[in-house]
Amino acid sequence: MPKPSNREKILTEGMRVVHQQGYAGASVRDIVQAAGVPQGSFTNHFASKEAFGLEVLDLYFANGQRVMQETLLNDALPPLQRLRGYIDAGMNRLNRDSMRNGCLFGNFTAEASGHSEVIRQRVLEIFAEVQRSIAYCLKAAVKNGELPKDFDCDEVAAFTVSALQGANLLSKAHRSPEPVERLKRILFGKILR
């Protein structure tokens, strides 16, 4: 297996540092130290910290897209089981660090979108793709008879994205999965019946 390039090391280790310390809290020095590369490597590979932040979002989202393919977009599974699997996968990821780091998209939204229009736009694009994938899953549930024919899939998908982001943020503050568990109980027990 080839050795990772300095660029790859900066991205993967930098993503971990940004996730732990926040976008503003992670200095370029912190990022290159974690990557074990000289400080000049950062400027050789990234025009700015903002450009690095965009690539970190895309790297984090690549994993999210894989999870969406395995769950929300996986036509081999019953639709509502897919949605539950998607939420559980996100909660399992949050549990890996005892809820301390939260969702990187939510963190970037809260922290960087007020200072960077390109980061704000990229986060919106990511949330829109998640919302489309949830709507696709809900429409399959309607087609399958799991939800009523007049179910507003697009509106509930938008609500689910918003509710999940809020639950992720509260889980980070509480250092407990309970806010996400509550969301699941209400979503599956009251909304998706």
Cite the DSSP H helix spans in the chain. 6-21, 28-35, 40-45, 49-70, 79-95, 104-111, 117-144, 153-174, 178-186
d(CA 101, CA 95): 9
The pairs formed by 87-94 with CB atoms below 8 angstroms and a separation of 24 or more are 87/164, 87/180, 87/183, 87/184, 87/187, 90/164, 90/168, 90/180, 91/171, 91/177, 91/180, 91/181, 94/168, 94/171, 94/172, 94/177, 94/180
Chain segment 140-189, per-residue pLDDT in tens: 999 999 999 999 999 999 999 999 999 999 998 999 999 999 999 999 99
> The tokens of 63 are what?
């994993």
Chain segment 55-64, per-residue pLDDT in tens: 999 999 999 9
pLDDT at residue 50 greater than cutoff 90:
yes
Q: Domain 1-46: state its class.
A: mainly alpha
Question: Which pTM value belongs to this model?
Answer: 0.92
Chain segment 66-118, per-residue pLDDT in tens: 999 999 999 999 999 999 999 999 998 888 777 778 888 988 888 887 889 99
- What ranges do the domains of the chain cover? 1-46, 51-191
CA dist list (Å): 35 to 51, 66, 103, 163: 17, 25, 22, 34
Sequence-distant (6+) residues with CB within 8 A of 96 are: none
d(CA 102, CA 192): 26
Q: Any idea which fold 51-191 has?
A: Tetracycline Repressor; domain 2 (1.10.357)
